[in-house]
Structure 1
Amino acid sequence: MASMTGDRRLLADKTPFPEDLDERLRAQFTFLIEVDQLKSIMRQSPLASVRRRENDAEHSWHLAMMVVLLAEYSDEPIDVGHTVQLVLVHDLIEIYAGDTPLYDDAAGTDQRDRELAAADELFALLPDDQALRIRALWDEFEERGTPEARFAKAMDRLQPLLLNWMARGGTWQTPGVTANDVRARKAVIGDASGALWEAGRRLIDEGEQRGWSRSGDAPQ
């Protein structure tokens, strides 16, 4: 098993697994317990069903369901199973790096450095072969060099759009953010699906008309 960097105390250390447990299985169990923290990383998007924000685990599950249902709208053929793996892995690093809100430019300045460091630390908990495979999935999502990664990224931007529509604004009403800012940050959907970007843009346009977001380019 690859060694862990830093002095972080792992969740599994609270109730250590038996010493005679198979080493590979111990590493896998340790990683699975560590990523349970994803359930406590809160995002900015409001849930449609109850009055609270969603967490990263809920977000990742929702993206996986969207891939299964919306893959038919991809402009390029995609491997659905592989794309599901991408969306399930993509936010794991936020356990250590934290969530970076889409419209918070200041928080985004060091986002890449924080997330790279988190990836190095978190994936090192796994057996070497799985550490390489999971890290490769995360890198693929970030680089968007494959049809699957582009579609996965599109789902990552479409999902909060749908939640903000249901909230009649949600994070679209972040101070200083305009409808044009929303369009600019969501345009990546079009890199994977013209049909889904047309639908997403329609919701943004309608939301602006209804006063759920600010019109114009200048901060309000």
Structure 2
Amino acid sequence: MDDPNSRLLADETPLPDTIDARLRQQLTFLIEVDKLKTILRQSPLAADRRRENDAEHSWHLAMMVIILAEHADEPIDIGHTIKLVLIHDLVEIYAGDTPIYHPTMGADQAEREIKAAEQLFGLLPEDQAAEIRALWDEFEARTTPEARFAKAMDRLEPQLLNWMARGGTWQSPGITADDVRARKAAIGDASKALWNASLEIIGEGERRGWARPGR
């Protein structure tokens, strides 16, 4: 059986052959990443009774970077950080979403996502493929202030959605408020202020019964 990920969206309605080869590669990539809008996450939207998709999530993170950058413990380049959050989940087009509270899916996550990065970013011209891959690797490594803040936004955004849902994924089977705190700790690597706010949100959710008491 053919791998469904090997079939590009652009192949369904091929671009004109007269388009410049480099531009054709770029447009093919941009068409392919439209698939991000179809990758559902576990978090419920605050504004509607459905789950958010990866494209909505990435947009929300970009907005959060702009609004919350002043709370970063280290100076960050806002534009660079926005690039990181817009790119970080593109690999899920091929690798799928890995729910943060799933007991087993994380075991091969790194392997799946590296393979997806090579496949997806390889659609671009070589120089841009290297640039986008470097940004994705930077986000994953979290060795720069920008990457740490980008990861903090990635952890904070679903927390806000779960708060608005009065529990949301906090109520996953077997998950306690202490588990939520542990999985959100990356926020504290980038911003003490946002981490303190996060602890207040989780604690209040626990008091209201939206998250199971810690062990």
**Shorter-chain TM-score tier:** over 0.9
Partner of 2:46: 48
The answer as to 2:159 corresponding to 1:165 is no
Deviations 1:104-148 (A, max 9, x none): 130000000000000010000000000000000000000000000
SS of 2:184's equivalent in the other structure is helix
Which residue does 1:117 correspond to in 2?
A: 115
Q: Which moved more, 1:181-190 or 1:7-16?
A: 7-16
Q: Tell me the CA shift for residue 20 of structure 1.
A: 1.2
* Structure 1 spans left out of the alignment, 5+ residues: none
Which of 18, 27, 30 is the matching residue for 1:29?
A: 27
Question: How far did residue 6 of structure 1 move?
Answer: 9.9
Kindly provide the amino acid, as one letter, of the partner of residue 31 in structure 1: F
* 1:73 pairs with 2:71: yes
**Superposed structure 1 runs of 4+ greater than 6 Å apart:** none
* Residue 216 of structure 1: how far off its partner (Å): 2.4
Q: What is the total number of aligned residue pairs between the two structures?
A: 213
Letter paired with 1:86: L
Q: TM-score, normalised by structure 1?
A: 0.95
TM-score norm. by structure 2 comes to 0.98
- Secondary structure at the counterpart of residue 149 of structure 1: helix
SS in 2 for 1:44: strand
For 2:29 and 2:159, the matched residues in 1 are separated by 31
Q: Which residue of 1 aligns with 2:208?
A: 210
Matched, 1:16 2:14: yes
AA of the residue aligned to 1:118: A
CA distance in 2, matches of 1:105, 1:50: 27
CA distance in 2, matches of 1:119, 1:47: 27
**CA distance, structure 2, for counterparts of residue 44 and residue 114 of structure 1:** 19
RMSD, matched Cα = 1.2
* Alpha-carbon distance between aligned partners in 2 of 1:65 and 1:98, rounded to the nearest angstrom: 23
Match of 2:188 among 181, 187, 190: 190
Letter in 2 for 1:173: Q
CA shift, 1:165, in A, is: 0.3
Question: Is the helix fraction higher in 1 or 2?
Answer: 2
For 1:100, the equivalent position in structure 2 comes to 98
**What is the one-letter code of the residue matched to 1:48?**
A
Q: Which residue of 2 aligns with 1:153?
A: 151
Aligned counterpart, 1:62: 60
